[in-house]
Amino acid sequence: MVKKIREIARKLLEEGKVDVVLGYEKGTEPLSERPFVARTVEEVERLTYSPFAIQNLATYLPRFNNNKVAILARGCTTRAINVLISEGQIERDKIYVIGIPCNGVIKTRELRESIGEEIEDVSIQNGEIVIKTTTEEKKVKFEDWLNISCKYCEYPNPLFYDVLVGEEVKPRGGGYPDVEDYEKLDEDKRWEIFEAEMSKCVRCYACRQSCPMCYCEHCFVDSTEPRWVEPGFDKTDLESWHLIRVLHMAGRCVDCGTCELVCPEGVKLLFLTRKVARDLKRDFDYVSGLNPEKPPFFGEFRYDDKGDFIL
Amino acid sequence: MADYEPKILTILCNWCSYAGADLAGTSRIQYPSNIRVVRVPCSGRVNPQFIVKALRDGVDAVWISGCHPGDCHYITGNYFARRRFYVLKDLLEYVGLEKGRIHFSWVSASEGKRFADIATLVTEEVKKLGPRKKFVKRR
C-alpha cells in the first residue's frame, strides 16, 4: 500500500500535475505518524501510511488554496472535503484525491500510555497490534484500540477519488451506542461525567487546530469583545468552550475523531459531537459531508422541522 | 425556597413577542417581574452562544420568544432559529443541565394574555428548580 502511494505521488509530482502531496510520514517514535507535505520527488520516499496516522488531512487544504494539491483521503477526509467545498473554502478541481479505504485508526496516545514502557517497534499482523518494548513483546487486539468513531463508521471508503489505493472495505456501521449509553444515565451523573471530562482540558486548543472544520481566522474563544470564554481554568469556561465548539460543529462535523485523538489530556470529546450528529441524523435526516451541493445544516430549514419543544 | 426570586433572561423579537409583551402591559395583565427583557430584531438573531454565555454569567434561566412559524417579519428567520434552538436544548440537556433552564415560545403581537401566561409558567418552573448549582462560575 505504501509502495503504491509513493508510486502515485512520484508520478503526480514528476508530471507536474500537482505542486504538493499531502500525506503522512513516520513520527519521531514508533506508533506515531504525522502529517507530511511532499513538495519534491525526493521527499516522496518519506511518505507512509498506517492506522496510526490519526490526523484528518483535510485540515490543511484551505492553506494550500493557491496550489494544486494531492491528498491522501479516507472516507472521513472526503466528507470533510465536501463540507469545505460547500462552505466555499476550497475548489474540487484543484484537489487530486488519492482514496484510501480505511479500517479505522488507532487511539495511539491511549495505547502508548497503557504500555507504559518505551516502545521500540510496532507492526500489525492478523488483526493484532504487535508492540516490541525494551523488555518484551506485547500483542493487543486491533479492534480494542479503535477510535470510537471508526468502530461505528458508516463511510470507511472515500466517497469520491481520482485514484483508489487498495480494495474497498465493508462499513462497520452500528449507529451510536456510545451516545445512547450516556443518555441512559441520570441527569446528575451525566453532568458529573461531563464536568470531570471538561476539567481535564488545559486549553491547548489542539482539538481546534487539528479539526478540518475549524478554519476561522478569528476563533470565538480568542474574542475579547464580547468575551465568550474568559481566560483561566474555571470549569464553566472550559465547559463553555467545548459546548460552543460542538455547536459550531453541528451539521459540519464529519466524525473523524481527530479532535479526541490529538488531545494531550485525553479529554473525551466525541460523545458530544457524535450526540449532535446522531440527533441530526435521527430527527432531520441530515448527514454532514455527503453532498457538496447541499447548503450547511444551519443554512437551510424545512417547514416541518421539529418544533414540539417550543411553547 | 419561598423567597427565591430567579432572574430569567428573556430575549424577545421586536415584531411579535416584544409587541405581545407591550400589549400585556397596556392591557394591565399581571405577570411575574422575574424576567429581564432584551429586544432583538428577530429570533433568528439569537446565537446559541448568547444562551451559553448568559447561563455562565449567572442568570437562572433563559427564555426566548419569537413570531409564530409563518409570521416572521423577515419571512424565514424563526425557522432558522428553530433548528438552532433544537440542537442547543438537546445538547445542554444531554450533558446534564436540568430540563427547564431554557424555554422557547412563539408569541404573536396580539397575544398579550398568552405572553403573561408563559411568563408565569416559566417563572414558576424555574422557581421549582431553585438556584442553579450546575454551570456556575466561581467569582
How is chain A split into domains, by residue range?
2-107+146-299, 108-145
Q: Which residues of A touch B98 (CB under 8 A)?
A: 187
Residue B69 belongs to a domain: yes
Taking chain B, what is the end-to-end CA distance rounded to the nearest angstrom? Answer: 23
d(CA B15, CA A292): 36
Q: Is the ipTM reported for this complex over the cut 0.85?
A: yes
User: Residue A189 pLDDT > 90, yes or no?
Assistant: yes
CATH code at position B103? 3.40.50
Note the pLDDT of residue A117: 84
Q: Mean pLDDT over all residues of chain B? A: 92
pLDDT per residue as tens digits for the range A66-125: 999 999 999 999 999 999 999 999 999 999 999 999 999 999 999 988 888 888 888 888
Region A133-158 average pLDDT: 91
Alpha carbon of B90: minimum distance to chain A alpha carbons (Å): 8
- Could A275 and B83 be called an inter-chain contact, meaning their C-beta atoms sit closer than 8 Å? no
- Could B56 and A237 be called an inter-chain contact, meaning their C-beta atoms sit closer than 8 Å? yes
One-letter amino acid for residue B5 of the chain: E
- Could A305 and B98 be called an inter-chain contact, meaning their C-beta atoms sit closer than 8 Å? no
Q: Which residues of B touch A279 (CB under 8 A)?
A: 86-87, 90
C-alpha cell at A210: 487539528
Residue B62 belongs to a domain: yes
Note the pLDDT of residue B80: 93
Instruction: Tell whether A215 lies on the interface with B, counting CB pairs under 8 A.
Output: no
- Could B94 and A247 be called an inter-chain contact, meaning their C-beta atoms sit closer than 8 Å? no
Q: Which residues of A touch B69 (CB under 8 A)?
A: 303, 307
At B2, is the pLDDT very low, low, confident or very high (cuts 50, 70, 90)? low
The rounded percent of chain B whose pLDDT value lies above 70 is 99
Alpha carbon of B93: minimum distance to chain A alpha carbons (Å): 8
CB A158 within 8 A of CB A97: yes
Q: Which chain B residue has the Cα nearest residue A197?
A: B95
Region A246-263 average pLDDT: 93
One-letter amino acid for residue A238 of the chain: L
Residue B3 belongs to a domain: no
Instruction: Tell whether A191 lies on the interface with B, counting CB pairs under 8 A.
Output: yes
C-alpha cell at B37: 427583557
Q: Which residues of B touch A274 (CB under 8 A)?
A: none
3-class DSSP assignment, residue A247 = helix
One-letter amino acid for residue B6 of the chain: P
Note the pLDDT of residue A308: 82
To 10 degrees, the CA torsion angle through A177, A179, A182, A183? Answer: -100
Region A131-149 average pLDDT: 89
Q: Which chain B residue has the Cα nearest residue A272?
A: B91
CB A150 within 8 A of CB A101: no
d(CA A212, CA A57): 8
Instruction: Tell whether A236 lies on the interface with B, counting CB pairs under 8 A.
Output: yes
Note the pLDDT of residue B90: 93
Region B13-38 average pLDDT: 94
Q: Which chain A residue has the Cα nearest residue B69?
A: A303
Strands A95-99 and A119-125: unpaired
Q: How many domains does chain B contain in total?
A: 1
Among B8, B49, B117, the strongest candidate for a mutation testing the A interface, having the largest count of A CBs within 10 A, is B49
CB A211 within 8 A of CB A259: yes
Range of the domain at B91: 8-129
Strands A33-38 and A20-26: antiparallel
Note the pLDDT of residue B1: 54
Among B83, B118, B126, the strongest candidate for a mutation testing the A interface, having the largest count of A CBs within 10 A, is B83
At A305, is the pLDDT very low, low, confident or very high (cuts 50, 70, 90)? confident
Note the pLDDT of residue A150: 93
Q: Which residues of B touch A298 (CB under 8 A)?
A: 80, 83-84
